[in-house]
Structure 1
Amino acid sequence: MNTKPAKPTTPKAKSKTKPTKIYEEVARHIKRMIEDGVLAPGDKLPPMTELAKQFGVSRAAVREAFSSLVGMGLIDLRHGEGTFVQRIDVQTMIIEPMNAALLLGRSNLRDLLEMRRLLETGTVQAACERRTEEGLLRIKQALEGQETARHTLEEQVACDLQFHIAIAEASGNNVLLNLMNTLSEALRSTLRATHETAADPEASIREHRLLYEAIAAGDAKRAALLIHAHLEHGERQILVRKT
């Protein structure tokens, strides 16, 4: 196990922007090591003192970083044993607004993506059958929000997620909507990955626009084909990143 991370860069304060704290930089760096496979599930992390020296920060900063990572469900502090990278699977993963879904093993990640495809295909078909003017307006507003959300990655991801949730609302099925809301953070992490790796940032918007038009027209067959193609496109990007 390679546990010699580069020293995190101390963030520079920017006007109107809250400076990133040192412990947040340390936590982000360790999280990236886990995501990249440098630290694998079950691996034991070096002691805080050693990590503090490697990162060039105080032991207190490492302790705070560990607390943050424990809250994300990424590491486990075992009294008398040390600190270990958590083993994550579909059933037990603790979902936070980060790339937790991408920490799953490849087979479990495929299961998660397949479940999303099955869920959303049924959701768009129901939306075609039960759409209302109000429901269509919500989908359109989410689409328009995505079309203007070009300032930050998180803003783009949030608008993308809202578009899919708006379709679930338009389905008129509260169970489907509750499932989408329950899975929202796992979906957020997969959406973030597709936006980060997208060769054509406008592709998602074009696909969403076609999907909205199919739902508005009540064309369930076309909507199902469009959502299937849209999700498969995103899945390919995520699984390529996972390799």
Structure 2
Amino acid sequence: MRVSRHLEELILDGTLQPGDKVPSERQLTQRLKVSRPTIREALKNLRGRGVIETRHGQGSFVVGMLDDVNNETPLARLYYSHPRLLYDLLEVRELLECEAAQLAAERGTEKDFYKITKAYNAMNGKPEPVNQDIKIAGDVGKANLHMAQLDHAFHRAIYEASHNPVLVHTLQNLMQLMLNSVVASVTNLYHRDRQKQQIDKHHQQIYNAIMNRQPETAKKVASEHIRNVRDRILEIEREEQREERAKILRL
């Protein structure tokens, strides 16, 4: 039981992440100072509960605790037909992602920082091939979807570095809606130089604050980033509404 508990805690705090290989029986025996039969029993227990899986000739690996969310959840379907939910979602993102940034700055490991850096560099470099399986509300060009996926991957690397499994689970279950909100940001703001420069500046500030372990700064800038995106999209929407009313008056 003690060995199972120890491995579960390593998984929950993110030290062992989905896809990571579990230390071998010999390594666990040496580290935990218990017998091999005890280790085998603990691994058997974790396998039986679906926490790890054993691959022939390779060893045991951590199974993903969070299933990919079905695109067709009721909330996702509502999002497609009620775009106003975008602003509610951005409010939730501000609440959760600013906390995630703070925790990432406090708790992030070197492995986490490597992943965040990789995602940050990818976001600022050449886009990778788009995942055609992802469904997005509305008509979105491939270039926008490329950028949205890279932007989203950066934020996802940050919240995974929070090492708070409940926070990660909550954000993971909102993943499809989160990506839709990033697509809205990319579609409406990335082609506007001033807005794109502000987004890039915020991303850089968030990245630097986390890498330099400045939790309060990371939280503050992450909140400012989401609020800025929400305010700018709302501003554009109101401008489009004014133009539409002006057209009617000219008829």
- The answer to whether 1:232 aligns with 2:227 is yes
- Higher RCO (CA 8 Å, separation ≥ 6 residues): 2
- Preserved CA contact (<8 Å) 1:211 1:226: yes
Say if 1:182 and 1:149 are closer, same or farther in 2 by CA, change over 3 A.
Answer: farther
Cα distance, 1:237 vs. partner?
3.0
The residue number in structure 2 matching 1:172 is: 163
The Cα shift of 1:181 comes to 1.5
CA distance in 1 between counterparts of 2:228 and 2:146 reads 21
CA distance 1:102–1:158, shift in 2 (3 Å) = same
CA contact (8 A) 2:104 2:210 kept: yes
Q: Distance in 1 between matches of 2:80 and 2:232?
A: 12
- 1:93 match: 75
The 2-side partners of 1:144 and 1:206 are apart by: 14
Q: Tell me which of 200, 208, 223 is aligned to 1:205.
A: 200
Q: CA deviation at 1:215?
A: 0.7
Residue-by-residue CA offset, 1:110-145 (whole Å, 9 max, x unaligned): 332211110111111111110111101111100111
Alignment check: 8 A CA contact 2:104 2:162 kept: yes
Quote the sequence identity (%). 26
Question: Is 1:191 paired with 2:205?
Answer: no
The equivalent of 1:155 in structure 2 is 146
8 Å Cα contact 1:149-1:156 kept in structure 2: no
TM-superposition CA deviations, 1:76-98 (whole Å, max 9, x none): xxxxxxxxxxxxxxx94235xxx
Residue equivalent to 2:111: 134
Distance in 2, matches of 1:110 and 1:170, equals: 26
Q: Secondary structure at the residue paired with 2:124?
A: helix
Conserved? CA contact 2:102–2:216, under 8 Å: yes
User: Is the alpha carbon distance of 1:157 and 1:110 closer, same or farther for their aligned partners in structure 2, counting shifts above 3 Å?
Assistant: closer
Query: 1:163 aligns to what SS in structure 2?
Result: helix
SS of aligned partner of 2:75: coil
Distance, in Å, in 2 between the alignment partners of 1:190 and 1:113 is 7
**Aligned match for 1:112, one of 71, 74, 89:** 89
Per-residue CA deviations over 1:136-193 (Å, capped at 9, x if unaligned) read 1111100111011458211110010011110011111122112222111111111111
Partner SS for 1:239: helix
TM-score (norm 1): 0.56
With over 3 angstroms needed to count, the CA separation of the structure-2 counterparts of 1:133 and 1:72, relative to structure 1, is closer
**Residue in structure 1 matched with residue 42 of structure 2 by the alignment:** none
Q: Are residues 109 and 197 of structure 1, via their aligned partners in 2, closer, same or farther at CA, if it must alter by over 3 Å?
A: closer
Q: Does the CA-based 8 Å contact 1:149-1:159 persist in structure 2?
A: no
Partner SS state of residue 163, structure 2: coil
Partner AA of 2:108 in structure 1: R
The two structures, once aligned, show a CA RMSD in angstroms of 2.5
Gap change, CA 1:184 and 1:220, over 3 Å in 2: same
Rounded to whole Å, the distance in 2 between the matches of 1:188 and 1:202 is 20
What is the letter of the counterpart of residue 188 of structure 2?
Answer: T
Q: TM-score by structure 2 length?
A: 0.54
Could you list the per-position Cα deviations for residues 32-90 of structure 1 after superposition, in whole angstroms to 9, with x for gaps in the alignment?
xxxxxxxxxxxxxxxxxxxxxxxxxxxxxxxxxxxxxxx976xxxxxxxxxxxxxxxxx
Distance 2:122 2:79 in 1: 25
Structure 1: which 5+ runs fail to align? 1-70, 74-90
